[in-house]
Amino acid sequence: MLTGKVSIITGALSGIGAALAQLLAREDSTVVLAARRTKQLESVARAIRQEGGTALALTADVTNRDDAETVVERTVREFGRIDVLVNNAGRGHFASVEDTTDAILGNMFAVNVYSLWYTTRPILRHMKLQGNGHIINVASIAGKIGFQFNNAYVAVKYACVGFTHALRATS
């Protein structure tokens, strides 16, 4: 099903993102890896290439609209299409409301919510022109259930789930 497809994965340095990139590459999808740390990102891309896969590592901070749009445009320029977007970039925070600073809250929304918008908006144009495509937003059970001392994380994951439902309803 993935042979010849082009997939972008944000937050592809480690964990779910890196494992998913390797899995998609094994299924013959070209993978575009986006994350902030060049050295670690190149390591993931190199491992995929050593297994015979095709990987392009793009250093980008998807909380920055210009970086996110550059990932999309560079992918289309290099490979001619985008079939799958996996919005995986994210971060957690374990603290009470009163111990969560405005800076932390702002960063939580930038990484877990704004990045969804910054990658999805430009990709939708390409997917609509192609007539197909898939957008996968990585959330958490915290997007459905509140947990003590996870208020900021729960809030951003609820936003991710809501964004995903609304996007699905309009597509």
pLDDT of residue 171: 63
**136, 123 contact by CB (below 8 A):** no
Among 114, 118, 153, 158, the one annotated catalytic: 153
Q: What is the rounded distance in angstroms from the CA atom of residue 64 to the CA atom of residue 4? A: 29
Q: Where residue 142 falls among pLDDT bands split at 50, 70, 90?
A: low
Find out if CATH 2.60.40.4070 is the number for domain 6-170: no
User: CA 55, 58, 59, 62 torsion: positive or negative?
Assistant: negative
Query: How is 29-81 classified by DSSP, letter by letter?
Result: -EEEEEES-HHHHHHHHHHHHHTT--EEEEE--TTSHHHHHHHHHHHHHHHS-
| pTM for this entry | 0.92
**pLDDT tens, residue by residue, 65-118:** 999 999 999 999 999 999 999 999 988 888 899 999 999 999 999 999 999 999
**pLDDT tens, residue by residue, 18-53:** 999 999 999 999 999 999 999 999 999 999 999 999
153 catalytic per annotation: yes
* Residue 135, number of CB atoms within 10 A of its CB: 20
- Name the token pair of 100: 């969560």
Three-state DSSP state, 25: helix
**pLDDT tens, residue by residue, 46-77:** 999 999 999 999 999 999 999 999 999 999 99
Show me where the domains of the chain are located.
6-170
Q: How far is CA 73 from CA 2, 52, 76, 112, in A?
A: 21, 25, 5, 21
Res 156 pLDDT > 80 = yes
